[in-house]
Structure 1
Amino acid sequence: MSTRDEGPQGVGQDVSVRIYLPDPGLQSYVTFYYFVEAFAPLTDFLYPEWGNVRLRIRGEWTVLNDPRDGTAPHEYALYGPTDRRGIVVTKGGKTVGFGLTPLGWDRLIGTDAGAMANRVADIEDELGVPPQVLQAAFAADGDDDAPGVARLDKVLLDLLARRPPAHPLVLAADRVLRRRPPDVARFAAEVGVPPRTLHRLCLRAFGFAPKRLLRRQRFLETLGLIRVSADTPFSALLGEQYYDQAHFNRDFRDFMGMTARQYAQTPRALMHAAAVAQAQVGITLSFSLPEPPPA
């Protein structure tokens, strides 16, 4: 059976995206596994997102987030959390990977997320697992994704069991951020720390200072609605979190590097296929923070 005919996936003329949820024991840490195939040259953009591990199976894939990282394609790449649009370029091929929630970054990577914000680097020993092992788990079965997903579940569950639990303040900040408090003062009060402590905590755990983080989450929640409501005017999706259309437009340009009108007019083959594939496994607002584990 052609990879274009398998589910759960989003399919465009030149791109296929297949999405799988991880084991329930990983779902507070790993967003989902993804298999992306481009059957022709492709250029698209990526939304601001949390961290990712991406592995090249074939072809060359380049993601441009920060000019400091250059344009060299990575075979095994660790992507930090982003607050800007990225650009993905390939001449065709296959890449696979998985997303990390902030708790997943804290438990599985363990380094300062702020130091990797908007950056990409060759993954080395951050996971404590050789990247070749991850790549082999995904690539060994041709078009059959299920065995690779099962192997990745086992690798990551074993790794999680060896790592210390999340720090209570990281858990507290994660829980409060999901409620998206109205301002930094409320954010700090609900976490139970002074604003300066919250500033350091957010940079390390989420990659961004509290004020920027709250703006980012507000924008991404609205963008998530826009992404799955193609026939609904933007203005109808803004709700009370934006004062007016102009307020939203400023955020859109800041985080996406384009106007909402330009976004609506831009072909998004990869991002459309990804949205379809995510919806098929029940992910409709992929930017939302999942429920953290019990305290």
Structure 2
Amino acid sequence: MYEERASRLSGAVVWANRTDEGGAGRVLPDGCMDLLWHEGRLLVAGPDTRAHVTEGAQGVWVGLRFYPGTAPAVLGVPAHELLDRRVELGDLWPAADVRRLRDRVVRAADPAAALEEIALERTPPPDPSLRRLVEALGAGRSVAAAADELGLGARRLHRRCRAAFGYGPKTLARVLRMQRALALARAGVPLAETALRAGYADQPHLSRDVRELAGLPLTGLLGG
């Protein structure tokens, strides 16, 4: 059973998921990174360019999903170094620090709240330009238009996106477009209209893009 709530960390989400069976789950690209807790381990989920299949991941998982582009400043690691990866937090931070934080989560009545506190203590002031970029691309504006709004050249924008999101602005725009389309389709909007409203050329374009990013046809995702 999956549950989530808004975090006190701006734009973030605190979530918990209990899986009692060993079936495969599917985490879709969303531009985000997560700090995870599972069976005494602290892990980091890097940004995805394709669906991450969680084969046989039983038990209770707890996580803090950062707002897109904000996790690298907390973790101290550029996002592109974690692209399509799940790593131990101990691979990124000193072992002594991670042991102390792990003990803190173990003692906590609510592991999710403990993760949230850890992130709040380490989060620097947000970069408003990154949030503006996510909002612009998430609203369907082109990469060129978003770059103009931020006053950034193409090369500088690409460097900043790789550090913050793990990939360039075109991939970020593609991921956010898919998430926008899924939200519309799940709300009952017909697929042809969903494609146009989300910024695709047509419904076949939507279907191809979703299959490439999610590893399943659109109807399969909606059915699941």
TM-score, normalised to structure 2, is 0.83
Deviations 1:85-109 (A, max 9, x none): 1101226312212112234313311
1:126 shift after superposition: 4.0
Could you say which structure has the higher helix fraction?
A: 2
Q: Give me the identity figure in percent.
A: 23
Secondary structure in 2 matching 1:124: helix
Which letter maps to 1:43?
A
Q: Closer, same or farther in 2 for the Cα pair 1:22/1:135, shift >3 Å? A: farther
* Residue 158 in structure 1 maps to residue 133 in structure 2: no
CA contact (8 A) 2:68 2:134 kept: no
One of 64, 83, 93 as aligned partner of 1:117: 83
Structure-2 residue corresponding to 1:175:
132
Residues 112, 89 of structure 1: alpha-carbon distance in 2 compared, 3 angstrom cutoff: same
For the aligned residue pairs, the C-alpha RMSD in angstroms reads 2.6
Measure, in 1, the Cα distance between the counterparts of 2:65 and 2:203.
31
Q: Of the two structures, which has the highest relative contact order with CA contacts closer than 8 Å and spacing of 6 or more?
A: 1
Q: Which amino acid aligns with 1:87?
A: V
1:40 aligned partner = 21
Structure 1 unaligned spans of 5+: 1-15, 59-74, 269-295
- For the 8 Å contact 1:253–1:259, the answer to whether it is kept is yes
In 1, Cα distance between equivalents of 2:98 and 2:58: 22
Could you list the per-position Cα deviations for residues 102-153 of structure 1 after superposition, in whole angstroms to 9, with x for gaps in the alignment?
3431331132112212112111264678344444444446xx63xx444444
CA distance in 2 between counterparts of 1:77 and 1:191 reads 33
Task: Write the deviation string for residues 45-103 of structure 1: whole angstroms up to 9, x where unpaired.
Answer: 11113111112127xxxxxxxxxxxxxxxx33211111211101226312212112234
Return the alpha-carbon distance in structure 2 between the equivalents of residues 76 and 183 of structure 1: 37
Q: How does 1:220-259 map to 2 (within 5 A)?
A: 220-227=179-186, 229=187, 231-240=188-197, 241-259=199-217
Structure 2: gaps of 5 or more residues: none
Cα distance in 1 between the residues matched to 2:153 and 2:167: 17
Large movers: runs of 4+ above 6 Å = none
How many pairs align? 219
